Amino acid sequence: MNADILKGNWKEKKGKLKQKYADLTDDDLQYAEGKEDELVGRVQKKLGVGKDEAEKIIRDI
């Protein structure tokens, strides 16, 4: 996952993800720079999707 995708307007993106996927919590979407893989893993686990799909979900928001 490209870190640049996550850097810009993360709070806005996080809000949109929570609206679209109610199962995701603030803890699930906690992002620390350099921890992109961890975020993708949390989204994968919570939504029951593969890595590529989790990255696509985050990227498309």
Rounded to two decimals, what is the model's pTM? 0.75
CATH of the domain at 18: 1.10.1470.10
- Give me the pLDDT at residue 50, please: 96
| Position 59 confidence tier, pLDDT thresholds 50, 70, 90 | confident
Q: Would you call 18 exposed, middle or buried from its count of C-beta atoms within 10 A (0-12, 13-18, 19+)? A: middle
pLDDT of residue 2: 63
What's the pLDDT score for residue 49? Answer: 96
User: What single-letter amino acid sits at 39?
Assistant: L
Q: Is residue 29 a contact partner of residue 39, using CB atoms and an 8 Å limit?
A: yes
**Residues 30-34, mean pLDDT to the nearest whole number:** 76
Tally of domains within the chain: 1
Expressed as residue numbers, the domain containing 7 is 3-60
Per-residue pLDDT at 60: 87
